[in-house]
Amino acid sequence: MLQKLDHKIKNRKILSRPFTYLATTIPFMQQQFNELIDSYLENEIGIHTHFLHPALIKGLQANILQLQKENLMFPAGIGNRGIKDDNQQMRGDQIYWMDAGHDNLFEQEFLQLATDFMLQMNRTCYTGMNDFEFHYAHYQTGTGYKPHTDQFANDNHRQFSLINYLNDDWEEKDGGALWAHAADGIQKISPDAGKTVLFNSETMLHEVKPSTRSRMSITGWLKQI
């Protein structure tokens, strides 16, 4: 299924469809989108426990396992091309960038969902976003991501972080929680399959606690460029 993936990181622009696509979004999806947006507006960190449907979760999980098997996932760097922090101990995940041009229906479905969600945010919150980027992420046992925010020091395009978890039967003893340092205290969020979180990329300090089993997600950023 994934053999045809072009594993060179080339053009990360993925908005290959026109912005009118929302017209086909069924009301059920808009309801889900609004629940996540409302949760963000109320709590500073939005949480939706059933944002991805089960078949999509299964497909994306299989993609990560296949990418691992084919050695296509690589340790994530810190910072962007211009500024590279020297502390590679910051984060332990391996990543692979998504692209709507990849020959994979689950990847395409996810990116369409992200497009529709971004447009719903623009419609309801006037956020004016016009681009995004997403990658698969796989944290091996014992790894995490130290406290950080998601905007680069020399690039403020990232507006919102949208993280989608893919882990079945996750238990508290497995660790791997996302700790979000919100104004009214730390929120600890377990990375359960189907759960999606939304927060401000510039201001929300957050970290991933090390886990005792491997941890899979789709992580990305809604942008204004």
The single residue among 37, 47, 121, 208 that binds ligand OGA, judged by CB under 6 A, is 208
Q: Tell me whether residue 123 or residue 147 sits nearer to ligand OGA (CB atom).
A: 147
Tell me which of Mn ion, ligand OGA, none is bound by residue 163, counting a contact when its beta carbon lies within the kind-specific cut-off of 5 to 8 angstroms: ligand OGA
Q: Which residue is nearest to ligand OGA (CB)?
A: 178
Q: Which of residues 154-193 bind ligand OGA (CB under 6 A)?
A: 163, 178, 191
Give the count of beta carbons closer than 10 Å to the beta carbon of residue 184: 7
Tokens standing for residue 91: 């984060």
How many whole angstroms separate alpha carbon 137 and alpha carbon 146?
A: 15
The single residue among 48, 206, 211, 223 that binds ligand OGA, judged by CB under 6 A, is 206
Tell me which of Mn ion, ligand OGA, none is bound by residue 107, counting a contact when its beta carbon lies within the kind-specific cut-off of 5 to 8 angstroms: none
Binding piece for Mn ion, criterion CB under 5 A, among 42-50, 60-68, 145-153, 168-176: 145-153
Cα 204 to the center of its chain, rounded Å: 15
Task: Please provide residue 8's backbone torsions phi and psi, each rounded to the nearest 5 degrees.
Answer: -80, 135
The single residue among 36, 219, 222, 223 that binds ligand OGA, judged by CB under 6 A, is 219
Q: What track of x and - describes contact with ligand OGA for positions 107 through 146 (by CB under 6 A)?
A: ------------------------------x-------x-
Q: Tell me whether residue 94 or residue 104 sits nearer to ligand OGA (CB atom).
A: 94
Residues that bind ligand OGA (CB under 6 A): 137, 145, 150, 163, 178, 191, 206, 208, 217, 219
